[in-house]
Amino acid sequence: MTTILIETHKVFEGEQRKYRHYSETLDCDMVFSLFLPKQMDNMLTDLVWWLSGLTCTDDNFSQKGAFQKYASHHQLAVVMPDTSPRGTNVADDENWDLGQGAGFYLNATQEPWAKNYRMYDYLTKELPELVYTLIPNFSGKESIMGHSMGGHGALVIGLKNPERYRSISAFAPILNPSQVPWGKKAFTAYLGSDEKAWAAWDATSLIAETAIAPSILISQGTADAFYEVQLNEEAFLQVADGKKVNYEKLVGYDHSYFTIASFIEEHLQFHKDYLK
């Protein structure tokens, strides 16, 4: 697999990099960003995955997340994949909440999406094998986090693979996508009209069936315009009773990267506590 380094910037003594490669899983060229902390005294480096939300790319978090200082302090590598397959030969939709930029981190089964939209397999199988080779002194330990649609993705991937990820965190995640407009639209297109098939990609259904889940931190702004309709937590928290879930309301904060930048230190400290 050929990986091309297309951009690099020094930041807090580490490096913020951007790569391009061809994905066999998605059948298209893909880009991803990777922050590498400075290597000190052969210290082992842990890995945190960041999954972004609707309309975003790998650039959103790398440029607006304000995480590099804290990742450098904790000796964390942070990988930022794109949010969907992309390209002129990849299926798309005229609306912003479906198609390119809106992959929902699942494996599509319906046409025209099934050919390319296999983000779950890409993120859990193909991309990790590539990323591992790029991290000097990789410890082998991983956690996962995300925002909005990416928060949904982090929870689904983390809950499906509890033995792999030490912890999960999310900002304003879509916790019950099978019951809200964003999720219903995406799931119908990607997975078909049989709602039974949706449960495998719904964090509320997954945590209800998971005997032992990784520890979870969720931060939700009270001024988030999407909260009431798309991001409500009641069903998730009800079935998550007994699991290690810390759900916090951030008074006055909204859905933007200003909120993420304000609380990213807390989230990375949370992950480091479980990665140690």
Q: Per-domain residue ranges for the chain?
A: 3-275
Candidate list 74, 152, 255, 271, residue with the active-site label: 255
Q: Per-residue pLDDT for 104 more than 80?
A: yes
pLDDT tens per residue, range 24-68:
999 999 999 999 999 887 889 999 999 999 999 999 999 999 999
Which amino acid would we find at residue 238? Q
Q: What is the pLDDT of residue 92?
A: 98
Q: What is the pLDDT of residue 109?
A: 98
Query: Residue 255 catalytic?
Result: yes
The model's pTM is: 0.96
pLDDT tens per residue, range 116-166:
999 999 999 999 999 999 999 999 999 999 999 999 999 999 999 999 999
Backbone angles phi, psi at 13, to 5 degrees: 65, 0
CA distance 238 to 251: 22
Q: Per-residue pLDDT for 261 more than 80?
A: yes
Report, as an integer, the average pLDDT of 244-266: 98
Q: What is the pLDDT of residue 1?
A: 64
Candidate list 205, 224, 267, 271, residue with the active-site label: 224
Query: Residue 194 catalytic?
Result: no
Q: What is the pLDDT of residue 242?
A: 87
Q: Per-residue pLDDT for 220 more than 90?
A: yes
Q: Per-residue pLDDT for 206 more than 90?
A: yes
Candidate list 148, 167, 169, 219, residue with the active-site label: 148
Q: Per-residue pLDDT for 257 more than 90?
A: yes
Classify domain 3-275 by CATH number.
Answer: 3.40.50.1820
pLDDT tens per residue, range 162-198:
999 999 999 999 999 999 999 999 999 999 999 999 9
Query: Residue 58 catalytic?
Result: no
